[in-house]
């Protein structure tokens, strides 16, 4: 079988006439010397569609006919490549400042594709507050794939350095982490890893901030991946994952896995994700503003709040040296698991749900939900507060959100009526 997607996606400077319907890279008019701003790139697409359709067509097909037995077209089989997926991948490459992006079936698929770069005997250094699903996959690989995984507190660069050996094949970072909102020094860790073990890959899960607020590729990391189920799509109506790289050869290795395993995103989901991405900038800005208001309300009410938009965050300066936004996920402690449970149950506008990055606000207790797959003993070792409540802030009216939370706090007995 031919490898059509690989022949078209690596060279982003190729003339658009030989490309399937897809956006060109940043193409301001010749007299404009700067690049378009991200907000513009996110909505602006170019395409060579024969009917000049405003929205990219959904090529809902598994196969493509060949002109003859010996002439292969650009596409032959959707597992290997599909024009709607290509359009999405090229659009994402543009906004993630990447040479190549691969769009797959979920954030965990993205992580799985990256994990398949590992061989028996390899070592992985990862955070100690990873997303539960990532933790589960790494544990599976450690148990069944003869891979050693070191979980360290990545807020301490020295903790990463301590575990670096010539066997280190992957350093996996999240910043901010989810849900403890810990920040790690991505540029410094990357620089040290590259100097010490040049062959090791540094990968960053950027789901918590999206390209709107942070772009770790700009710090020299090898791979950025995201669960596009979150901010990128924004409506919790699809599962998707994206992997972004600058190194062409690494892109080819990752594409090989996508093609071999068949985890590439489906045409309809590609289209849905593209539609979601078009409103990313305004959704993200509104959600982030709301999150700041909610975080300040909770802090003023006396709770220990974790949010990088608050000056009280212990790594406030480090965060803002890398990011240009605080995101829309925060967490706080109440001092009692029972009170936390009652707060969650008494919230109304805040839907009790895992996940984040959606237009509507969500509330959860990570220990019982998104992070329940982490052994309670390990959670205790990592000082994970069992009473932690995570808030994933949406784009509703901020006063409504605060009022609803206030009511839940009062009903749960966490604050007195008059306190706030
Ligand atoms: N990374 C982070 C930080 C997440 O929160 C999640 C899901 O919640 C994932 C990765 C996995 O993404 P998905 O659910 O799209 O497989």
Q: Is residue 79 part of a domain?
A: yes
Are 201 and 171 a contacting pair, CB within 8 Å? yes
Average pLDDT of span 171-194: 97
Indicate if the pLDDT at residue 385 is higher than 70.
yes
> What distance in Å separates the CA atoms of residue 270 and residue 88, rounded to the nearest whole number?
6
Average pLDDT of span 318-339: 97
> What distance in Å separates the CA atoms of residue 327 and residue 291, rounded to the nearest whole number?
8
pLDDT for the residue 2: 37
Q: Ligand 1 centre and the CA of 129: distance in Å?
A: 13
Query: Six-digit token pair at 248?
Result: 């062409």
- 243 and 348 together in one domain: no
Residue finishing a domain among 277, 307, 335: 277
Give how far the C-alpha of residue 381 lies from the chain's centroid of Cα atoms, to the nearest Å.
26
Q: Ligand 1 centre and the CA of 356: distance in Å?
A: 9
Give how far the C-alpha of residue 89 lies from the chain's centroid of Cα atoms, to the nearest Å.
15
pLDDT for the residue 5: 36
> What's 389's domain CATH number?
3.90.1150.10
Active site residue 59: no
Average pLDDT of span 236-262: 96
Q: Is residue 13 part of a domain?
A: yes
Average pLDDT of span 164-189: 97
Where residue 164 falls among pLDDT bands split at 50, 70, 90?
A: very high
Indicate if the pLDDT at residue 15 is higher than 60.
no
Active site residue 79: yes
Out of 35, 79, 194, 253, which one is annotated catalytic? Answer: 79
- 92 and 230 together in one domain: yes
The phi, psi pair for 201, rounded to 5°, reads -100, 135
Cis peptide before 148 (omega within 30 of 0): no
pLDDT for the residue 73: 87
> What distance in Å separates the CA atoms of residue 251 and residue 276, rounded to the nearest whole number?
25
Q: Ligand 1 centre and the CA of 358: distance in Å?
A: 13
- 141 and 41 together in one domain: yes
For the sheet containing 100-104, what is the strand order? 100-104, 241-245, 223-227, 201-205, 168-174, 123-127, 148-152
> What distance in Å separates the CA atoms of residue 295 and residue 317, rounded to the nearest whole number?
18
- The Cα-based distances of 272 to 55, 95, 233, 279, 355 in angstroms read 11, 17, 8, 12, 18
Q: What's the mean per-residue pLDDT of the chain? A: 90
Domain of 397?
Answer: 281-411
Question: Quick one: which atom of ligand 1 is closest to the CA of 355?
Answer: 8
Give the rounded percent of residues in the chain with a pLDDT score beyond 70.
91
Q: Is residue 418 part of a domain?
A: no
Instruction: Give the closest residue (by CA) to ligand 1 atom 5.
Output: 131
- 29 and 139 together in one domain: yes
Give the rounded percent of residues in the chain with a pLDDT score beyond 90.
79
Indicate if the pLDDT at residue 391 is higher than 80.
yes
Query: Six-digit token pair at 91?
Result: 């659009």
> What distance in Å separates the CA atoms of residue 259 and residue 113, rounded to the nearest whole number?
10
Query: Six-digit token pair at 199?
Result: 């062959």
Indicate if the pLDDT at residue 31 is higher than 70.
no
Q: Is residue 26 part of a domain?
A: yes
DSSP conformational letter for 331: E
pLDDT for the residue 34: 66
pLDDT for the residue 7: 33
pLDDT for the residue 29: 58
pLDDT digits (tens, 9 = 90+) for 76-113: 999 999 999 999 999 999 899 899 999 999 999 999 99
> What's 133's domain CATH number?
3.40.640.10
pLDDT for the residue 16: 34
Instruction: Provide the Cα torsion 47, 52, 55, 58; round to 10°.
Output: -80
pLDDT for the residue 418: 58
Q: Ligand 1 centre and the CA of 227: distance in Å?
A: 5
- 198 and 100 together in one domain: yes
pLDDT for the residue 419: 54
> What distance in Å separates the CA atoms of residue 179 and residue 160, rounded to the nearest whole number?
20
- 272 and 286 together in one domain: no
- 221 and 73 together in one domain: yes
pLDDT for the residue 132: 87
- 353 and 250 together in one domain: no
pLDDT digits (tens, 9 = 90+) for 351-375: 999 999 999 999 999 988 877 877 8
Residue finishing a domain among 252, 277, 302: 277
Residue finishing a domain among 277, 298, 324: 277
The phi, psi pair for 269, rounded to 5°, reads -65, -30
Q: Is residue 358 part of a domain?
A: yes
> What distance in Å separates the CA atoms of residue 200 and residue 194, rounded to the nearest whole number?
7
> What distance in Å separates the CA atoms of residue 122 and residue 146, rounded to the nearest whole number?
8
Q: Is residue 261 part of a domain?
A: yes
Q: Is residue 416 part of a domain?
A: no
pLDDT for the residue 122: 98
Active site residue 131: yes
> What distance in Å separates the CA atoms of residue 113 and residue 346, rounded to the nearest whole number?
40
Q: Is residue 287 part of a domain?
A: yes
Out of 90, 94, 182, 230, which one is annotated catalytic? Answer: 230
- 340 and 263 together in one domain: no
Average pLDDT of span 13-31: 43
Indicate if the pLDDT at residue 380 is higher than 70.
yes
The phi, psi pair for 65, rounded to 5°, reads -75, 145
> What distance in Å separates the CA atoms of residue 71 and residue 73, rounded to the nearest whole number?
6
- 37 and 115 together in one domain: yes
What is the CB < 6 Å shell around ligand 1?
Answer: 106-108, 131, 133-134, 178, 205, 207-208, 227, 229, 239, 241, 355
Instruction: Give the closest residue (by CA) to ligand 1 atom 12.
Output: 107
Average pLDDT of span 334-346: 96
Active site residue 283: no
Indicate if the pLDDT at residue 69 is higher than 80.
yes
Out of 112, 128, 205, 269, which one is annotated catalytic? Answer: 205
- 405 and 266 together in one domain: no
- 295 and 263 together in one domain: no
Number of domains within the chain = 2
> What distance in Å separates the CA atoms of residue 115 and residue 123, rounded to the nearest whole number?
11
């Amino acid at each position: 079988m031919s490898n059509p997607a690989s022949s078209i996606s690596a060279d982003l400077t190729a003339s658009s006439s030989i490309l399937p319907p897809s956006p060109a890279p940043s193409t301001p008019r010749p007299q404009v010397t700067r690049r378009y701003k991200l907000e513009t790139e996110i909505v602006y697409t170019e395409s060579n569609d024969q009917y000049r359709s405003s929205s990219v067509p959904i090529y809902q097909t598994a196969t493509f006919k060949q002109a003859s037995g010996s002439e292969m077209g650009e596409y032959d089989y959707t597992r290997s490549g599909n024009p709607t997926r290509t359009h999405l991948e090229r659009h994402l490459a543009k906004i993630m400042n990447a040479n190549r992006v691969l769009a797959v079936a979920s954030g965990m698929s993205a992580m799985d594709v990256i994990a398949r770069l590992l061989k028996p005997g390899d070592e992985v250094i990862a955070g100690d507050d990873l997303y539960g699903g990532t933790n589960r996959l790494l544990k599976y690989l450690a148990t069944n794939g003869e891979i050693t995984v070191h979980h360290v507190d990545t807020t301490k660069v020295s903790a990463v350095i301590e575990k670096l050996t010539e066997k280190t094949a992957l350093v996996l970072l999240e910043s901010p982490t989810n849900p403890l909102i810990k920040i790690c020094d991505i540029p410094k860790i990357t620089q040290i890893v590259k100097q010490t073990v040049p062959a090791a890959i540094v990968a960053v899960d950027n789901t918590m901030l999206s390209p709107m607020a942070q772009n770790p590729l700009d710090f020299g990391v090898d791979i950025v991946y995201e669960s596009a189920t979150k901010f990128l799509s924004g409506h919790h109506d699809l599962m998707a994952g994206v992997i972004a790289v600058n190194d062409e050869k690494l892109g080819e290795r990752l594409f090989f896995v996508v093609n071999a395993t068949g985890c590439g995103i489906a045409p309809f989901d590609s289209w849905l994700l593209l539609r979601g991405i078009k409103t990313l900038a305004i959704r993200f800005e509104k959600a982030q503003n709301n999150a700041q208001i909610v975080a300040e309300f909770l802090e003023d009410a006396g709770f220990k709040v974790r949010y990088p938009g608050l000056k009280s965050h212990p790594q406030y300066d480090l965060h803002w040296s890398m990011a240009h936004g605080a995101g829309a996920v925060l967490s706080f402690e109440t001092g009692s698991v029972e009170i936390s449970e009652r707060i969650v149950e008494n919230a109304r506008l805040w839907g009790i749900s895992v996940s984040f990055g959606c237009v509507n606000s969500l509330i959860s207790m990570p220990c019982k939900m998104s992070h329940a797959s982490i052994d309670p003993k390990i959670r205790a070792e990592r000082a994970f507060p069992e009473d932690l409540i995570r808030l994933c802030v949406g784009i509703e009216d901020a006063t409504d959100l605060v009022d609803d939370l206030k009511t839940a706090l009062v009903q749960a007995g966490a604050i007195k009526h008059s306190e706030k």
